[in-house]
Amino acid sequence: MEFSTIVGGIIAFAVFFFITQGFKVVQQSQCVIIERLGSYQKTLTNGFNIIIPFIDKPLQVYWISNGNIFLENRIDMRETVLDVPEQSVITKDNVSISIDAIMYVQIIDPIKAAYEISNLPLSIAQLAQTSLRNVIGEMDLDETLTSRDVINSKLKTILDEATDKWGTKVNRVELKNITPPADIQNAMEKQMQAERERRAKVLEAEGDKQARIAISEGMKQEQINLADGDKESQIRKAHGEAEAIRELAQAKKEAIQQIKEQINNEDMAVKYLISTAYIQEFGKFVSKDGDKVFVPYESSTALGSIGTIKEILSNN
């Protein structure tokens, strides 16, 4: 009785274990390839799945987990990062540089990824290294250092086309480091230093140029202001002189009119004014001792009229 109970328990446990081996739970963004007796049977997607225990077996596939390559029976369908090891590459101008990169890859067709290539991550990495050597070999050093985006784009196109038959998509390729030889790095540093000094001199010269322009503009404006001031001064002076002449002429006109009214002789009035003008000017000629003045004969007539006019004015 006890023996039969033990045997029954063993059989029940074996049946339970057998049944549970047929239950497979697949996580989101993962899949499992099932082979039955060595041949492809089906692909398990996320959720609860049932297989035949000991007959259906998951296929183990090389894939990337946490940056490392492992042999696993669950394929991660998410985009993952694959590191391309550093290698020495020769440029078009025969300069040896060290270069490495990273790739963002994703399995699109797990069946092709499992059966079309034996070690998918290693194959992609080696293909990337070969393609990188080919692309860099077509470019010189300066172009390589300044054309990262071009290199990334070319590599992505090449790798995406090559890995399509492996059920994999290359979403992105990025160069990490481009390291020239030490002597070239030193030469580049000297070149950069010389370029910085050149730019500093150009900026200094440009600043000096702007300062000189500002000074010349200031001097120009100063000269304009001085010229405008001198012009205004001369205009005002001319206006003043013109006004003085007008007032003097008006005074002489009034004097002639008064003399004319007194002596009732216009010619005598004019001669009187001319005579007084002669006398004023003669005073300037004899401002120093010993000066001699010769009076023209014609002037004596005008000077003689002064006495006549004086007598007339006295009588009046």
17, part of any domain:
yes
258, part of any domain:
no
Q: Tell me, yes or no, whether 126 and 52 share the same domain.
A: no
66, part of any domain:
no
- The answer to whether the predicted template modeling score (pTM) of the entire model surpasses 0.75 is no
Q: Please name which of 160, 170, 67, 71 lies closest in space to residue 118, comparing C-alpha atoms.
A: 71
Q: Tell me, yes or no, whether 82 and 167 share the same domain.
A: yes
7, part of any domain:
yes
Q: Tell me, yes or no, whether 154 and 109 share the same domain.
A: yes
CA angle 5–11–17, rounded 5-degree value: 135
Backbone angles phi, psi at 59, to 5 degrees: -85, 135
Please count the structural domains in the chain: 4
24: Cβ contacts below 8 Å, ≥ 6 apart: 32, 44, 48, 49, 50, 51, 58
276, part of any domain:
yes
Distance, in Å, from the CA atom of 102 to the CA atom of 83, rounded to the nearest integer, reads: 5
- Check residue 113 and give its pLDDT: 92
104, part of any domain:
yes
Q: Tell me, yes or no, whether 187 and 176 share the same domain.
A: no
Q: Tell me, yes or no, whether 111 and 166 share the same domain.
A: yes
Instruction: Name the burial class of residue 308, with classes exposed (0-12), middle (13-18) and buried (19+) by CB atoms within 10 angstroms of its CB.
Output: middle
99: Cβ contacts below 8 Å, ≥ 6 apart: 86, 87, 89, 132, 136, 175, 177, 178, 179
Q: What is residue 139's DSSP assignment?
A: S
Q: Tell me, yes or no, whether 91 and 173 share the same domain.
A: yes
Q: Tell me, yes or no, whether 80 and 172 share the same domain.
A: yes
191, part of any domain:
yes
- Ranges under pLDDT 50 in the chain: none
Q: Tell me, yes or no, whether 248 and 300 share the same domain.
A: no
What is the per-residue burial (b if ≥16 Cβ within 10 Å, else e) of 33-58? bbeeeeeebebbeeeebebeeeebbb
Q: Tell me, yes or no, whether 246 and 283 share the same domain.
A: no
Q: Tell me, yes or no, whether 209 and 224 share the same domain.
A: yes
- Check residue 100 and give its pLDDT: 92
- Check residue 300 and give its pLDDT: 55
Q: Tell me, yes or no, whether 108 and 98 share the same domain.
A: yes
- Check residue 160 and give its pLDDT: 92
- Check residue 281 and give its pLDDT: 62
- Check residue 155 and give its pLDDT: 93
The CATH number given to whatever domain includes residue 81 is: 3.30.479.30
Q: Tell me, yes or no, whether 10 and 39 share the same domain.
A: yes
Is-contact 46 27, C-beta < 8 A? yes
- Check residue 131 and give its pLDDT: 93
Residue range(s) defining the domain that contains residue 17:
1-59
